[in-house]
Amino acid sequence: MKVEGRIFHICTAFFFAAAILYGFWAKEPVGIVGLTLTGGLSLIIGSYFSFVARRVEERPEDNPDAEVSDGAGELGFFSPGSYWPIACAASAALAGFALAFFHIWLIVIAVVLVLLSVGGLVFEYHTAPDKD
């Protein structure tokens, strides 16, 4: 997580420097606000990564002397086959279509479908705790 934190802190410095330079050069308020807010958001993400990096064990990515074989092993659980992402994409497309033509009845249906499909994706492998 240290590498990711450094990357976002470098981006933060760039965005704030670009906002200052843009302020002197263009004197246009919308660009200054946009660059400043972008720098603030990247600062939040970089600070979070730096905070988490102190609380987790060191990963091979954080060790400059690491070998490729240090990162071998199980990476996590990935769904072998799920149809929920297709449902999420279809319902998001329907929501975009409904918003483009501004049909209120279709927007309501699309929002319900988006919520159902995202809920299905999130809780796909959720199991209730064992009752002993």
Are 42 and 15 in contact, with CB atoms under 8 Å apart?
yes
Give me the pLDDT at residue 66, please.
Answer: 85
Beta strands in 28-108 (DSSP E): none
Amino acid at 49: F
Nearest CA to 17 out of 31, 29, 35 is that of 35
| Three-class SS state of 56 | coil
Q: Parse the chain into domains and list their residue ranges.
A: 2-64, 84-122
Q: What pTM does this model have?
A: 0.59
Query: Measured between alpha carbons, how far apart are the two ends of the chain, in Å?
Result: 38
Which two three-digit tokens encode residue 78? 């990935």
The answer to whether residue 65 scores a pLDDT higher than 70 is yes
Q: How confident is the model at residue 98 (pLDDT cuts 50, 70, 90)?
A: very high
Give me the pLDDT at residue 131, please.
Answer: 67
Residue with the bigger pLDDT between 76 and 26: it is 26
CA distances from 54 to 3, 90, 105, 116 (A): 12, 40, 49, 37
68-95 per-position pLDDT tens digit: 888 888 877 777 888 999 999 999 999 9
